[in-house]
Amino acid sequence: MSALSVISQATTEHLEPAERIHYWEDYNRRALVGLSCTSYSEQGLLARQTNIELGALRLADISGNSHAVERTPQTVRSAPKDSVFASLLLTGEAVFLHENGCLAATSGELCVYDTRRPYLFGFSSSMRQILVDVPRELFTQACGAHRLPGPMLFGRGTAREGALVAALAALLGELTALRGGPHVPADAEGAVLGLLGQLTEGRTGGPTGPDAYRSQLIVAEDYIERHLHDPRLGAAQVAGVMGISARHLGRIFASTGRSPARHIVERRLVRAHRELLAPEARQTRIADVAHRWGFSSQAHFTRLFHARFGLTPSEARAEATR
């Protein structure tokens, strides 16, 4: 199990506007990477950062107003950093300038780039990102790529790519919210690396790593959880979004002891059970709950519910009320 702990935190909000840039540059030089910063706001730079250790990885949860950070050729030489950064933009819009062009990113997109190459990352409005700092040797092992062909933007190129980025966003969001404690997902470090490997392998020529099934399972479970309301949800739909065959999806779920179809039914039953027992939903019709969670009929829902919980939906609700 990967350990998760906060290394350091910083904010410029308690400083005079004239002092904020220098403080932010000095903090990042020590905690993350050497860079120079420019503020575009009359208030100066208002920014917060929390750096989290996840095994050999570092996560940086960064938010701020409009600004730009730049890693110039001189900074690359004077403050070397041999890592691959994966920056997931949660809110705002950004431009990423590099020696061969420009990338435009919006919320929900992921930019992967080499810290040994100069770049400028500019944010035109309030922003929040989660940055994953992957040591180059570890990135090579996990993603099978000795050299990035250039900065890469992921998010909405294909349905599979979108599903992978969404799964990574859900995992990173969970990790940054936990910031330690007993409920850290098992081998979260391997799951993050596995998702990055699946995203980058098509553009770097790297092979799928040994953790592919585990990271693919995260993607599949995340997609299923977000589409439980869809009555058409099934193994074929999940496999199609991921760009794999239904048979391969079955192999991915083998470690759980359930088929994809059984997993979908289980998650629907759990969510329906939770809603039925919620005090605020006591007046909701059972048929409406069944329909909302993708069951074809109330009778079908009742049979499955009784087999799973040993009570009919009406009995479970009555018992909860008592």
Residues 132 and 275 in one domain: no
In this structure, is residue 174 part of a structural domain? Answer: no
Asked whether residue 171 is domain-assigned, the answer is: no
Residue 220 falls within a domain, yes or no? no
Shared domain for 252 and 137, answered yes or no, is: no
pLDDT in tens, the chain (322 residues): 467 889 999 999 999 999 999 999 999 999 999 999 999 888 899 999 999 999 999 999 999 999 999 999 999 999 999 999 999 999 999 999 998 889 999 999 999 999 999 999 999 999 999 999 999 988 887 776 556 778 999 987 778 888 889 999 999 998 998 776 556 666 788 889 988 988 887 666 554 444 567 777 888 888 898 889 998 899 998 888 877 788 888 888 887 888 999 999 999 999 999 998 888 877 889 999 999 999 989 999 999 999 999 999 999 888 877 7
**φ and ψ of 110, to 5 deg:** -120, 130
What CATH number corresponds to the domain at position 252?
1.10.10.60
Cα distance between residue 12 and residue 47, in whole Å: 6
- Are 240 and 94 in a shared domain? no
Q: Is residue 249 domain-shared with residue 157, that is, in the same domain?
A: no
The residue out of 161, 192, 213 marking a domain boundary is 161
**Residues in CB range of 44: below 8 A, 6 or more apart:** 12, 17, 18, 20, 21
d(CA 196, CA 131): 12
Task: Report if residue 221 sits inside a domain.
Answer: no
Residues 6+ apart with CB under 8 A from 272: 289, 290, 292, 293, 295, 301, 305, 313
Examine the domain organization and report whether 149 and 253 are in the same domain. Answer: no
SS3 of 87, please? strand
Domain boundary pick from 127, 161, 195: 161
The answer to whether the pTM exceeds 0.85 is no
Whole-number Å distance between alpha carbons of 268 and 229:
8
Strand partners, 282: none
Structural domain boundaries enclosing 249: 235-321
- Give yes or no: residues 251 and 155 share one domain: no
Length of the chain: 322
Per the domain annotation, does 90 fall within a domain? yes
Within-domain flag for 186: no
Are both 21 and 152 inside the same structural domain?
yes
24, part of any domain:
yes
Last residue of a domain, one of 139, 161, 183: 161
Residues 120 and 22 in one domain: yes
Does any domain span residue 217? Answer: no
Number of domains in the chain: 2
CATH code for the domain in which residue 114 is found: 2.60.120.10
